[in-house]
Amino acid sequence: MSLTANNLPQHPPTDPAAVPEPGPQARSRPEPERLARAALSRLGEPGDATLGRWLARLDALDVVRAIRGDAPAEQLGVDSARLAAFRARAVDLDPVADLERVRAVGGRFIIPGDTEWPSQLDDLGEGRPTGLWVLGTGSLRLLALRSVAVVGARACTAYGAHVAGDLAAQLAERGWVVVSGGAYGIDAAAHRGALAVGGPTVGVLACGVDVAYPRGNTALIRRIAEQGLLVSELPPGEHPTRFRFVLRNRVIAALTRGTVVVEAALRSGALSTARRARDLNRHTMGVPGPVTSELSAGVHALIRSGAAAVVTDAAEVAELIGAIGEDLAPQRSGPVLPRDLLEPEAARVLEAVPATAEGAPVERLARQSGLPPDEVLQRLYELGSLGHVERHGAHWRLVRRR
């Protein structure tokens, strides 16, 4: 299908002000802005700077108009040569089908302005994703509020896998959401560690959220979607490339409060995530290891250069990111979403949480709220992000106000 097909959003030709404001995510017919961004997400590679510059000045719909030739490129101030390149790539574009395809597997496409959009991605500037394809339950924005990336080598050692799993489990037990890349090695160990203690975890993929890559992690990736979220800039069906892995790392770095590198050889991909995190003024941390291990050499180099702090357990990670957290997190200045603005399910779970010091386990909260335990847990993490509740061992309790 070509760009002139009817399923591309039609813009009122004379009045750009008539473009609908980005609203809450549509359940039925996608708004033109969402449709336009879905189209651009397939047209441009992640982090495309040209596209980013255009989108910084124009609505997505105007950019699509320029690509379609409905508006003269010069008048929009966009580079006509680059425009031609986009136009050439625009064969077979069908954003409506893409949106339907992701919805068919239970996913969605979120864009800036949506309630679920994590506003910290704005720190990426012109490299901000056009939109994010998301699969799973729970709000990406809320999960990302108290999130930390745990990344590292694919071909990790037993030591690295053990440390990553342990660290992720401890972070999840402290109410932190572990974000990683869904790859073999450290990534998989981190996701598994969080899942093992019932914590949600976010996998940021370099392929479509409906593509299980790497193949060997199929079951793990499915579990992440069930208990947490899969996130990608790439539309359904897309496969990873070396370039896409590197650009995916910037999303992991921007989404989280800090990045922990567990094992990384010199010149490894995990180090690029760490450097991105550093550039974005996120906390960058490294777990040391034996100096006799090449897989710790990259981490040690990062630490030696002053680019990363040494962390040896979850308490140390929480101490670092929590310090900034006190400023960023909603607890201090009052919750971002007050109780009466909570979604009905979250409000029901919150009502079930006791004010006692010992709290209650998920099962009891599920019985009392009449919601399935999986959803209760998801909501508890959201409520934790908002400063309403906190985890205490296997129990959850209300946060006492100062």
Contact footprint for a copy of itself (CB under 8 A): 159, 162-163, 287-292, 296-297, 300, 303-304, 309-313, 316
Nearest distance, CB of residue 287 and a copy of itself, angstroms: 6
- Residue closer to a copy of itself by CB (options 18, 310) is 310
Peptide bond into 118 cis (omega under 30): no
Are 193 and 169 contacting, i.e. CB atoms less than 8 angstroms apart?
yes
Nearer to a copy of itself, 254 or 311 (CB): 311
**Shortest Å, Cβ 170 to a copy of itself:** 12
Q: Which is nearer to a copy of itself, 166 or 226 (CB)?
A: 166
Residue 304 beta carbon to a copy of itself: minimum distance, rounded to whole angstroms: 5
Distance (Å, whole) CA 111 – CA 18: 19
Q: Which is nearer to a copy of itself, 200 or 298 (CB)?
A: 298
In order, the DSSP letters of 37-81 are HHHHHHHSPTT-HHHHHHHHHS-HHHHHHHHHTSS-HHHHT--HH
Residue 166 CB, nearest approach to a copy of itself (Å): 8
How far apart CA 262 and CA 184 sit, in angstroms, is 13
Query: Could you tell me the smallest distance in angstroms from the CB atom of residue 173 to a copy of itself?
Result: 18
For a copy of itself, the closer of residues 297 and 349 by Cβ is: 297
CB of 289 to a copy of itself, least distance (A): 6
Name which of 143 and 287 has its Cβ closer to a copy of itself.
287
- Tell me whether residue 104 or residue 155 sits nearer to a copy of itself (CB atom): 155
Give 371's DSSP letter.
S
In the block, which residue shows the tokens 């609505």? 59
Cβ nearer to a copy of itself, comparing 171 with 311: 311
Shortest distance, position 297 Cβ to a copy of itself, whole Å: 7
Rounded Cα gap, residues 210 and 221, in angstroms: 10
Count CB-CB contacts under 10 A for residue 111.
23
Alpha helices in 8-47 (DSSP H): 32-43
Of the two residues 68 and 300, which places its CB atom closer to a copy of itself in the complex?
Answer: 300
Minimum distance, C-beta of residue 145 to a copy of itself, in the bound complex (Å): 26
**Any idea what the Cα angle at residue 145 is, between residues 142 and 146, rounded to 5°?**
115
Instruction: Supply the minimum distance, in Å, between the C-beta of residue 162 and a copy of itself.
Output: 7
Sheet holding 283-286, edge to edge: 107-110, 132-136, 229-232, 201-204, 177-180, 147-151, 258-261, 283-286, 309-310
First to last CA, the chain: 59
Alpha-carbon span 331 to 317, nearest angstrom: 19
Angle between helices 344-352 and 362-369 (to 10 degrees): 120
**Dihedral pair phi/psi, residue 24, rounded to 5°:** -60, 155
